[in-house]
Structure 1
Amino acid sequence: MEKQKILIVEDDDLMQGMLKDSLNNSGYEVTLASDGLEGLRNFQKSDYDLVLLDIKLPKINGIKLLQKIKEISQETIIIIMTAYGTVETAVQAMKIGAYDYITKPFLSDELILIMQKGLELQKLKRENILLRKELKHQFSLRNIIGKSKVMQEIYQLIEIVAPSRSTVLIQGESGTGKELIAEAIHHLSDQKDKPLIKVSCGALPETLLESELFGHERGAFTNAIKMKKGRFELAHQSTIFLDEVDDMSPVVQMRLLRVLQEREFERVGGTQTIKVNLRIIAASKANLLTLVNEGNFREDLYYRLNVVPIMLPPLHARKRDIPLLVNHFLNNYNTQLHKNVEISTEALQRMMYYNWPGNIRELENLIERLVTVSVKDKITEQDLPEYLRIKKKWSSNKIKMVVQEVEKEHILKILEQAYWKKKETAEILGITPKSLWEKMKKYNIE
């Protein structure tokens, strides 16, 4: 187990030595500082679980140092050491953010008891923050809606792969539910009691993403005033979910490959090699094999990520799940908004005809909007947006041409997503392999 790190800021050499010996013997990792300035510099260089801080210090006094530490880290536990005549100052320190104070002279056991209580409170606060975040999502298969054959196969694969530590690659269009799949895998794994660390790789530029993933040392770049642990370090003994890995730059791809191969890395601006034991779940909105063939993604990284592939179909390829999803979202938003809104058969039919380019996310957003603005007990066809209600008057020949064109494009898309495996493509499309072969011949798909 990693030792808890304690910073002692005390200008009395005798007191320093006594405290260091006592805390080392109690299993803590101790750093010493003899004045306020040295204490601040030490705190900026590393993460400390607790600071023992004398009130009267040279260069920067204890109150000023307390304020500076709290500006950098609100959650660090700070215990003030004070002489009998400065108790009022210690009380002032507690108002600023110190956890407690202890009056000199004191027994080591007395100090360690206060420290243990403070560190336990810190642990509970951290766990509470994580639990509050995780309670927003009940990570289980109940969050993944669908009874189509392809979704049933995905459920089975999740249950098989979750207990292992294998790397998983989830691919699918935006809005198909890749994050829900990652959450379900984590929730069903042995690491379910630890947080799932999430990183949206497409939301950050290269330099920020590198710092976010690998952390950085103090002074590594402008405004890096303090050492920061990266997401890989925070995911030690747990799982990290890397969304939109298709947007990673070549530099970050290369560093990720090393983590996958060696389970080690260095922080940005650092030289110390950090070892981690973690599971990686990656997700991509683009077909990574296509990007590899185009020269836009490392082939070796692709094969390291693609240990257990999960391909999520777009919503228009699993139309039979739309009524289930509509019902699920209706129940959710009725509960949230204290309503009891239903949907008419005609409105549901219009939703079944629509192609849903934004997939499940688009459908959910629509249901939320409809329930929110509804003043009736039932959503009808007239309540739907115009693009769902529109009925174009085309000739039968034109309709046939458009349908054939759309069907050809759809078959090509599913073939690409299934890596041109005919059996899987047919299952996703809901047709027999023979029908798929006939359609490929009809549309000259080779």
Structure 2
Amino acid sequence: MKQARILIIDDEKLLRWSLQQNLEKEGCSVITAEKGIEGLNLYKEERPDITLLDIHLPDISGMTVLERIKEIDRDAIVVMIVPYGDIQTAVKSVRMGAYDFVEKPFNMDKLNILIKKAFETVVLRKEVSRLRGKLSLQNGFEGFDCIVGRSGSGELEINIPVGGVDIEKIEKKLLKRVLEMTGGDEVRAARLLNITGDKLKYRMQEGGLFDGGES
């Protein structure tokens, strides 16, 4: 996890210290905040790769912080910290856009694995962004998002017709490369592209990618 930048927002001083020591030992750069507003300000200033966010904070709720972070950056990776057994809250947070959740008390080994996977997602998303830019340049566009935009629900969709360009072929090429990057993991591929699993399967089937179709 070299170079991963992590923000911890939790009001328990000992817990913040313990998490910071553990993550720095793993090679991460860590900043901490005791309260929600403080954490939001740090997020805006530092734009960490991953945020560990407690559900219960002394000033505003962790859910509110999560919501505001996602307003700042829809792709933000936030891992919620929830009390042991509070699955209902954990599931709600994931539906609101959290990457995943961990329960108190922590199993540090499991947490390290989760953080590692989350950071791999950060790296892969940067690669997806690079691929979008490369594909757009190859086809004479300033930005790939002008070809493959996003609907109100956040799903990829073709929204600007461009004469003389096979847009479906470009989209298929991006999907194929993302699947290669994730080793065929459809869940991770859908997360990277910010589309639902069903939409990913539809586009894979449409492009013949279930059969290893070439672009």
3-state DSSP of counterpart to 1:31 = strand
Normalising by the residue count of structure 2, what TM-score does the alignment of the two structures yield? 0.62
3-state DSSP of counterpart to 2:130 = helix
1:41 aligned partner? 41
Q: Please identify the structure whose Cα radius of gyration is greater.
A: 1
2:80 aligned partner? 80
Normalising by the residue count of structure 1, what TM-score does the alignment of the two structures yield? 0.31
1:133 aligned partner? 133
Is residue 96 of structure 1 aligned with residue 96 of structure 2? yes
- CA distance in structure 2 between the aligned counterparts of 1:135 and 1:106, rounded to whole angstroms: 42
3-state DSSP of counterpart to 2:74 = coil
> Do 2:11 and 2:34's aligned partners in 1 also have CA atoms closer than 8 Å?
yes
CA drift of 1:116 comes to 1.0
- CA distance in structure 2 between the aligned counterparts of 1:129 and 1:47, rounded to whole angstroms: 17
2:119 aligned partner? 119
Post-superposition Cα deviations, 1:378-432, rounded to whole Å, max 9, x if no partner, equal xxxxxxxxxxxxxxxxxxxxxxxxxxxxxxxxxxxxxxxxxxxxxxxxxxxxxxx
CA 1:130/1:107 → structure 2, altered by over 3 Å: closer, same or farther?
Answer: same
The count of residues paired between Structure 1 and Structure 2 equals 148
1:426 aligned partner? none
> Do 2:6 and 2:29's aligned partners in 1 also have CA atoms closer than 8 Å?
yes
3-state DSSP of counterpart to 2:138 = coil
> Do 2:8 and 2:30's aligned partners in 1 also have CA atoms closer than 8 Å?
yes
3-state DSSP of counterpart to 1:27 = coil
- CA distance in structure 1 between the aligned counterparts of 2:2 and 2:75, rounded to whole angstroms: 19
**What amino acid sits opposite 1:79 in the alignment?**
V
Gaps of 5+ in 2: 142-162, 168-215
**Equivalences for 1:301-316 in 2 at 5 Å?**
none
CA drift of 1:4 comes to 2.0
1:65 aligned partner? 65
> Do 1:6 and 1:30's aligned partners in 2 also have CA atoms closer than 8 Å?
yes
CA RMSD in angstroms, aligned pairs only: 2.8
1:236 aligned partner? none
CA 1:54/1:138 → structure 2, altered by over 3 Å: closer, same or farther?
Answer: same
CA drift of 1:336 comes to 4.7
CA drift of 1:126 comes to 2.3
1:248 aligned partner? none
CA drift of 1:2 comes to 7.6
> Do 2:55 and 2:80's aligned partners in 1 also have CA atoms closer than 8 Å?
yes
CA drift of 1:49 comes to 0.5
1:53 aligned partner? 53
3-state DSSP of counterpart to 1:82 = strand
3-state DSSP of counterpart to 1:137 = helix
1:17 aligned partner? 17
CA 1:61/1:31 → structure 2, altered by over 3 Å: closer, same or farther?
Answer: same
Gaps of 5+ in 1: 144-178, 180-331, 338-446
